[in-house]
Amino acid sequence: MWWHGDHGVLTIRAVSSSNAQPEHGRPRLPGRVNLRANADGAIDALLADIFIHANNCVRTFGDFHLAVSATPQIEPALMRLMYDLPYRDFPWQRTRVWMVDELDVEESDARRRQTRLSETIVALSGLPESQFHPLAVGAQAEYQRVLQEHLGWREKGQDRLDCVLLSIDEAGLLSGVGEIEPADAARTVVPMGFVNSARLIAIYGGDWVGPEQQSRLAALGRQGRLGVSPVGGDLVWYLAKPREEDAGLSIEG
């Protein structure tokens, strides 16, 4: 377990022995890996880090800027953030929630990112509605202007997103910013400079992310096609032991 300081902001991270990749035959992912015994454990680690990070940012800057790619894979983590007792004091009144991406689908489509955020964080957290910023399809330039306007209140060099929350799908692709399958809907993505300059890029992968998916992500990273490339921030993967692995894998907290 170790700490990283950033202008008075501390992000605590429990790092598992999986960082010694390719131990256990695992590919080397960029950034740091927090490997847990199951999906609930990975969510526990993810939410604990975000909770500490959010409170530290509020103390340092007065607010917390969180950007989310609201996929089906990340929804269990969002719901846990709403209901788990340890996070009842999450500083929602001082938080602004941004979208990483939006799909070009009908409003009734279950894949729509804005709907998922509206039905979780916006509806259940107590976040003031004016502090949620939907991303309209095709409106990347306007979204960039609004982002710059709100982040511009901070001193130069600190005017960046505090946390970007992404997930891995079952094909081993990174939500929001990575490559997409040909059959997927077109999407609008927030300007990548905002993603890559974030203090923390947190990527959640549940127990569906096995060696095959990790190999694909590692290969995309080597090819410069992963979709994220942190500049001055931290990239942390929150992964669970794949379902098909035996119970003998040793996990350190």
Q: Please check whether residue 250 lies inside any domain of the structure.
A: no
pLDDT digits (tens, 9 = 90+) for 43-57: 999 999 999 999 999
Residue 251 · residue 36 · CB < 8 Å: yes
Q: Which CB contacts under 8 angstroms, 24+ apart, belong to 1-9?
A: 1/253, 4/234, 6/199, 6/233, 7/60, 7/157, 7/158, 8/56, 8/59, 8/60, 9/53, 9/56, 9/57, 9/60, 9/61, 9/162, 9/199
What the block records as the tokens of 28 is 């080397």
Token pair in block for residue 196: 């890559």
pLDDT score for 185: 67
Handedness of CA 156, 96, 52, 89 (dihedral sign): positive
Whether 249 is covered by a domain: the verdict is no
The pLDDT of residue 22? 39
Provide the domain count of the chain: 1
Q: Which residues contact 145 (CB under 8 A, 6 or more apart)?
A: none
Question: Any residues with CB less than 8 A from the CB of 45 and at least 6 apart, and which?
Answer: 14, 34, 36, 238
Does residue 70 form part of some domain?
Answer: yes
Alpha-carbon distance values, 55 to 50, 58, 83, 90, 128 (Å)? 9, 5, 18, 7, 17
Residue 85 has a CB neighbour count (10 Å cut-off) of 6
What is the span of the domain harbouring residue 45? 2-240
In a domain, 251, yes or no: no
Q: What is the pTM of this model?
A: 0.85
220, pLDDT greater than 90: no
Q: Smallest Cα–Cα separation from 204: which of 75, 102, 105, 81?
A: 75
Within a domain: residue 131?
yes
Q: pLDDT of 173-203, one tens digit each?
A: 888 886 655 556 688 999 888 999 999 999 9
24: helix, coil or strand? helix
Q: Is 246 contained in some domain? A: no
**9 has a pLDDT exceeding 80:** no
What are the two backbone dihedrals, phi and then psi, of residue 159, each rounded to the nearest 5 degrees? Answer: -85, 70
What 8-state DSSP symbol labels residue 242? -
In-domain check, residue 81: yes
CA nearest to 91, candidates 119, 123, 50: 50
Contact 205, 42 (CB under 8 A): yes
Q: What is the CATH number of the domain that holds 65?
A: 3.40.50.1360
Kindly report, residue by residue over 87-101, the tens digit of the pLDDT.
999 999 999 999 999
